[in-house]
Amino acid sequence: MDLYSLGELVIDFTPGSEPASYIRNPGGAPANAAITAARSGLEVGMCGSVGDDDFGRFLIQTLEENGVKVLNPKLCGKAITTLAFVTLAPDGNRSFTFARKPGADMFLEEEAVKAEDIQSSAIVHAGSCSLSASPVAEATIKALRLGHEMGKLVSFDVNYRNVMWQDGQAACAAKVREILPYVDLLKVSDEEVGMVGGEEALPGLMEEYGITVVVSSHLLGEIDQMADHVGIIRKGRLVFQDTMAKLHTHATQQIALRTGRPAETLSLLRRSGLEVTKEDDYLLIPMTDDNRIAALCRQLCEQNIPLYRIEKRENSLEDIFLALTGKETSL
């Protein structure tokens, strides 16, 4: 196998179109990672625990339909499949309510983690949710330890969910630190970075625990300071993999103009054969030579268009990321 993923398989109930209605969806971060990898053509196995109920059978069927090998097909008789109800705030942020007192994901036993499955895999992946209860916590630690001892690439997603930890962020952080000696690839978001000491502590954390790479959901500026190489994935496809220096070569320089009559300026620039984009009150054109810039300024003056500001711009890492992932916008 290319990927051995372990952890929670849950039902995500997301808001439906009718008031107070919910739609059933397969969920659980490790399961989502497994399915995404399988859809990208990798050979993947998923080790988790679901209830002996319709929801559990639905999750097993979903894995199989997406080409993911079910490594623990035994249905749990001690609890129902774990359920998560997702609430969307007006700003788009999500909050979760879990039906997990207990939930079947908690009952994954160490015996389900088989050395031969890990030995046959290239990557072992898990997350912090499965460290929040026993016996799944012990099963998770076993998988990560075996992966480390067998020389596999061990990946870990902090993925803090306050409800699963009874708002015990400190307890989650302590458990995460216990497994860091096994981890090669750590995924942490800007909301979670405080759990590992803050942004400024990440380089020291990497050195202390021998972590090869830290992946952050949003902190591209910090990645630039810490990483030599970077990979960018869009919809399961690797769109960039190289050094940070190579990534910076994707930066483009532009000239930014702010005038008193932007609509007329836009028309003039386009008549001059220039590609124009807009950013707030500025019109952006590709970098050109000094003589052409001077000629454009003369044209604006001849048309009595006030020129308030002209400056050079260079894409940030965030701009480069958006361009590589197909989210760039233009006029």
* pLDDT score at 331: 30
Distances (CA, A) of 18 to 13, 23, 84, 90: 13, 10, 19, 17
* pLDDT score at 20: 79
SS3 102: coil
* pLDDT score at 251: 76
Same domain, 24 and 149: yes
Q: How many CB atoms lie within 10 A of CB 314?
A: 11
Residue 273's Cβ-side half-sphere holds a number of Cα atoms within 13 Å equal to 2
Residues in Cβ contact with 177 at an 8 Å cutoff, skipping those fewer than 6 apart: 196
Same domain, 266 and 167: no
> How many domains would you assign to the chain?
2
Same domain, 127 and 262: no
Question: 250 near 323, Cβ under 8 Å?
Answer: yes
DSSP symbols for 244-259 = HHHHHTT--EEEEEEE
* pLDDT score at 60: 97
In a domain? residue 39: yes
Same domain, 31 and 161: yes
CATH classification of the domain holding 299:
3.30.70.2030
* pLDDT score at 329: 35
In a domain? residue 199: no
Q: Is pLDDT above 70 for 134? A: yes
CATH classification of the domain holding 175:
3.40.1190.20
Q: At what angle do helices 169-179 and 136-149 cross, to 10 degrees?
A: 30
For residue 222, name the pLDDT band (cuts at 50, 70, 90).
low
In a domain? residue 56: yes
Which of 48-62, 78-92, 161-175, 264-278 holds the top average pLDDT? 48-62
* pLDDT score at 277: 87
* pLDDT score at 71: 97
pLDDT in tens, 156-204: 999 888 878 888 889 999 999 999 999 999 888 877 888 888 877 888 8
* pLDDT score at 227: 67
In a domain? residue 240: no
- DSSP category for residue 76: B
Whole domain around residue 293: which residue ranges? 253-314
| Backbone torsions φ then ψ of 60, nearest 5 degrees | -60, -45
Same domain, 258 and 149: no
In a domain? residue 324: no
Three-point CA angle 88, 91, 95, nearest 5°:
35
Q: What are the E-state strand segments in 143-281?
A: 153-157, 185-188, 213-216, 229-234, 237-243, 253-259, 277-279
Of 183, 211, 243, at which residue does a domain stop?
183
Of 135, 153, 183, at which residue does a domain stop?
183
* pLDDT score at 328: 42
In a domain? residue 328: no
Same domain, 57 and 152: yes
Residues in Cβ contact with 135 at an 8 Å cutoff, skipping those fewer than 6 apart: 106, 107, 108, 109, 110
Residues in Cβ contact with 207 at an 8 Å cutoff, skipping those fewer than 6 apart: none
In a domain? residue 30: yes
| Backbone torsions φ then ψ of 20, nearest 5 degrees | 60, 20
Tell me how far apart the alpha carbons of residues 100 and 85 are, in angstroms, rounded to a whole number: 11
In a domain? residue 190: no
Sign of CA dihedral 31, 108, 145, 225: positive
Q: Which helix (H) or strand (E) holds 48?
A: none
Same domain, 140 and 274: no
Q: What is the mean pLDDT of residues 51-63?
A: 97
Average pLDDT, the chain: 87
pLDDT in tens, 237-284: 677 788 878 887 877 788 999 999 999 999 999 988 889 988 888 999
* pLDDT score at 215: 65
Same domain, 172 and 47: yes
Tell me how far apart the alpha carbons of residues 257 and 300 are, in angstroms, rounded to a whole number: 11
Question: Can the peptide bond before residue 306 be classed as cis, meaning omega within 30 degrees of 0?
Answer: no
Question: 227 near 213, Cβ under 8 Å?
Answer: yes
Q: Is pLDDT above 90 for 110? A: yes
